[in-house]
Structure 1
Amino acid sequence: MWIVSALFAAVIAIFAQLTIPLPLIPITGQTFAIGLAVTILGLRYGSLSVLLYILLGAIGIPVFSGMSGGLGIITGPTGGYIIGFLPAALVMGIYLEKTRFTSSHAIIANIIGMCITLLFGAIWLKYFANLSWPAAFTSGIAPFLIVGVLKAIAAALAGVVVRQRLLSAKLLTTKTVSH
């Protein structure tokens, strides 16, 4: 499962390159891939994938959006979102393991994860760019809400199907991933 976690860290890095540029913070595929990883792998290995992704970027491997990496990215305007990926994955995984890996629960978990990521990003942006709270909301949360919900739903639905098929094919087992 360590290899699968590393594979999903690579998937997150690939999806990070899918971007829609906006003035301050781009819309990326990272949150979709993180939702997919946690929905498929559960708390332990989904969160491990996210942690590995963040660590790879922190040491300078260009896995963040725009093929960037390094501590400068984490301490820059998008740093709060990147830092928020890990608590989002942890909470999503905990929620799914306390409930069930169904489409409806996965959608709820992924929307919660989106909210956590956006909250970390906006708080970071407020202090990094010295913005007011309304300005941090306007630039750090509002532009991402609709797309974020759509990515959360897509990650949840795709993740549940892939998880069920991998479990059926015995490529994942409930001994290695939860439920």
Structure 2
Amino acid sequence: MERNLVMIALFAALIAALGLIPKITLAFGVPITAQSLGVMLCGTVLGSKRGALAVLLFLLLVALGLPLLAGGRGGLGLFVSPTAGFLIGFPIAAFVTGLIVEKWRSAPLTLVAGIAAALGGIVVLYVFGVIGMSITLDKSINEATVLVAAFIPGDVLKAAIAGMLTAALAKARPNSVLSRT
């Protein structure tokens, strides 16, 4: 139990630390950040439940006003901004990513974690992000989808990195990849 709490807190801190990497803000107000890589890693390394809890802890701290999002942003106002859908989708994305890694054991971990990160951290996250942008920006679903298309190449790269990092961690410290224990 204690180990789980430490890992959840550690991965919430990892998401926050990835927010220190300078962001690139697109014209419609949604930044490209490294924090979605942290969400992917929460799922691939911690598994579904612990990964989602790590992201929820991070979001709780953001909601309380701590400036943990890229660019030093924090507070409840973010949950009604163009990024709201992405924030709401973060824990679900981590959960789905972790669930895939937990259940799919017949292929190499690099491949499984990379595909899981792509499905959870891109497909699932984009569903929430597109809906959130559609609502907050008063755009159609198609218009919001076009707006987020710019994120796809970077997120595919992040999914591949998540797969490689998870496999490297599993090789170096097998008991640290809780999604596989």
Q: What is the TM-score with the length of structure 1 in the denominator?
A: 0.89
Match of 2:143 in 1: 135
1:149 aligns with 2:149: no
For 1:70 and 1:117, locate their aligned partners in 2 and report how far apart those are by CA, in whole Å: 21
Letter in 2 for 1:146: P
For 1:10 and 1:178, locate their aligned partners in 2 and report how far apart those are by CA, in whole Å: 22
For 1:143 and 1:119, locate their aligned partners in 2 and report how far apart those are by CA, in whole Å: 15
SS at match of 1:63: coil
2:73 paired residue among 68, 77, 92: 68
Match of 1:5 in 2: 8
Structure 1 unpaired stretches of 5+: none
Aligned residues between the structures: 173
2:169 paired residue among 137, 162, 165: 162
Q: Please, what is the CA RMSD of the aligned residues?
A: 1.6
Structure 2 unpaired stretches of 5+: none
- Quote how far apart the aligned CAs of 1:177 are: 5.0
For 2:47 and 2:173, locate their aligned partners in 1 and report how far apart those are by CA, in whole Å: 13
Q: Deviation per CA, 1:8-62, whole angstroms, max 9, x where unpaired?
A: 1011011123212211211110111111222122223222211111111111111
For 2:52 and 2:171, locate their aligned partners in 1 and report how far apart those are by CA, in whole Å: 19
1:106 paired residue among 113, 121, 124: 113
Q: Percent identity?
A: 35
1:20 aligns with 2:24: yes
Q: Deviation per CA, 1:138-171, whole angstroms, max 9, x where unpaired?
A: 11x201111110111111111221133222xx5x
Q: Deviation per CA, 1:99-130, whole angstroms, max 9, x where unpaired?
A: 13711111110001211111111111001110
Answer yes or no: is the 8 Å Cα contact 1:44–1:177 preserved in 2. no
Which contiguous aligned blocks of 4+ residues in structure 1 show a shift greater than 6 angstroms?
Answer: none
1:53 aligns with 2:58: yes
- Quote how far apart the aligned CAs of 1:85 are: 0.6
